[in-house]
């Protein structure tokens, strides 16, 4: 309901592009309240013809009539969506109202786009920068700083002779250690400046067991980089959360089953050069479907790992859905 209020506010915007976007977002919503229908009726008289047309199309779907049946079979839903244009279907899959559609309906919409040869963009569910060497360096630097604090405390003792004062020797080393500590802290942040945000898409993100799909990965390198290794892995992850302990904390354990791996050899990239590749992945025929409960999760992920020489390792996870066979039995 908060999204609807936000779109109603956008309909009052002096900018026509925002009013147009509000009409389109309300159009892909499975249901809108009466106040939204009233606002769309007002928008049909908008001074901008594009906004007025978008409001008319939104009303055509949400007003009672043959185009928007209150109850329809899966076959009727598929036939109705097949008549819609691709931008409309993309707005359903990528918009704020995605969670209000059933998984079966989203799967049928994704299948229609896949049949048209169109890809679906994926956003990473988790992005990590692992830096094992930097962590060791940071630990050493922190230990040295602790030693320096102890020595500084000893140097303040009045009975300590000047020739035994450790501060003149420790200060240069401590400044160097502080510089290394700053590098360790800001190194992962600067590593993100090496590349642009990856553009990832799949031909279908709602899959059945044994189904094949194409995974496209595009990455532009802002600076000259030497990539030691790059892998794309299709993973089945099992997550289990145990009962609370005496402190009320619950331990969650994860186990990854690597189903398929695509590896790329080492390669050097010039500044501004883009890596782009499309690979075919397949869900196993005996695959367990995606499942979520309060203490257990079964998830299907695509893990992309990029190891750049001298920089932290990039790891990005992209989630897809594997549906039970019953969702595809019509």
What is the domain extent for residue 172? 130-193
Of 63, 88, 118, the residue at which a domain comes to its end is 118
CATH code: domain of residue 238: 2.60.40.640
Q: For residue 27, is it left (φ>0), alpha (ψ between -120 and 50) or beta? A: alpha
Tell me the pLDDT band of 70, cut-offs 50, 70 and 90. very low
Look at residue 262 in the predicted model and tell me its pLDDT. 93
Q: What is the average pLDDT value for the chain, to the nearest integer?
A: 76
Enter the pTM of the model. Answer: 0.58
Take residue 329 and report the two structure tokens written for it. 């039995």
| Same domain as 255, residue 160 | no
Distant-in-sequence contacts of 5-9, Cβ < 8 A, 24+ apart:
7/36, 8/35, 8/36, 8/39
For residue 136, the 8-state DSSP code is H
Same domain, 174 and 106: no
Q: Is 191 a residue whose pLDDT tops 80?
A: no
Q: For residue 20, give both structure tokens.
A: 């147009």
Question: What are the start-end ranges of the E strands in the chain?
Answer: 120-122, 126-130, 199-202, 206-207, 212-220, 225-241, 252-264, 267-269, 274-282, 291-292, 296-308, 313-322
Q: What is the pLDDT of residue 66?
A: 38
Q: Give the end of a domain, one of 147, 164, 193.
A: 193
| Same domain? 200 vs 309 | yes
pLDDT at 138: 56
Question: At residue 68, does pLDDT exceed 50?
Answer: no
Share of the chain above pLDDT 90, in %: 11
Q: Determine the Cα–Cα distance for residues 115 and 245; give it in Å rounded to an integer.
A: 50
- Of residues 34 and 217, the one with the higher pLDDT is 217
**The predicted structure's pLDDT at residue 325:** 66
Is 162 found in the same domain as 113? no
Residues 144 and 79 in one domain: no
Statement to judge: residues 13 and 78 lie in one domain: yes
Residue 307 in this model has a pLDDT that exceeds 80: yes
Question: Of 169, 193, 217, which marks where a domain is finished?
Answer: 193
How much is the pLDDT for 189?
58
* 77 or 303, higher pLDDT: 303
Counting the structural domains of the chain, the total is 3
Task: Name the pLDDT band for 261 (thresholds 50, 70, 90).
Answer: very high
Distance, in Å, from the CA atom of 62 to the CA atom of 28, rounded to the nearest integer, reads 9
Statement to judge: residues 42 and 167 lie in one domain = no
By the 8 A CB rule, do 170 and 148 touch? yes
Same domain, 108 and 136: no
Q: Which one is predicted more confidently, 23 or 204?
A: 23
- Is residue 135 domain-shared with residue 235, that is, in the same domain? no
Span 106-165, pLDDT tens digits: 767 777 777 777 777 777 777 666 654 445 555 665 666 666 666 666 555 565 555 555
């Amino acid at each position: 309901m908060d999204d609807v209020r936000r779109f109603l506010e956008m309909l009052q915007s002096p900018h026509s592009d925002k009013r147009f976007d509000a009409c389109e977002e309300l159009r892909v919503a499975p249901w809108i309240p009466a106040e939204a229908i009233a606002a769309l009726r007002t928008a049909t008289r908008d001074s901008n013809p594009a906004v007025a047309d978008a409001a008319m199309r939104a009303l055509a779907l949400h007003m009672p009539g043959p185009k928007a049946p209150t109850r329809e079979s899966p076959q009727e839903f598929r036939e109705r969506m097949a008549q819609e244009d691709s931008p409309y279907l993309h707005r359903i899959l990528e918009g704020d109202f995605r969670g209000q559609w059933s998984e079966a309906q989203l799967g049928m919409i994704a299948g229609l786009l896949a049949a048209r040869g169109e890809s679906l963009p994926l956003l990473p569910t988790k992005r990590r920068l692992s830096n094992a060497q930097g962590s060791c360096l940071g630990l050493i630097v922190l230990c040295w700083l602790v030693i320096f604090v102890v020595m500084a405390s000893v140097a303040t003792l009045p009975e300590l002779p000047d020739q035994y004062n450790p501060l003149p020797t420790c200060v240069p080393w401590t400044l160097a250690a502080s510089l290394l500590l700053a590098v360790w802290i800001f190194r992962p942040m600067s590593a993100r400046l090496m590349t642009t945000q990856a553009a990832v898409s799949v031909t279908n993100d709602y899959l059945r067991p044994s189904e094949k799909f194409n995974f496209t990965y595009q990455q532009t390198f802002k600076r000259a980089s030497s990539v030691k290794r790059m892998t794309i892995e299709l993973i089945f992850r099992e997550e289990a959360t145990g009962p609370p302990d005496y402190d009320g904390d619950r331990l969650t354990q994860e186990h990854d089953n690597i189903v398929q791996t695509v590896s790329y050899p080492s390669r050097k990239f010039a500044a501004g050069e883009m890596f782009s590749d499309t690979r075919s992945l397949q869900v196993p025929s005996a695959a367990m479907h995606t499942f979520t409960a309060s203490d257990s999760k079964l998830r299907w992920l695509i893990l992309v790992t990029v190891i750049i020489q001298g920089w932290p390792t990039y790891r990005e996870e992209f989630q897809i859905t594997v549906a039970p066979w019953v969702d595809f039995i019509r």
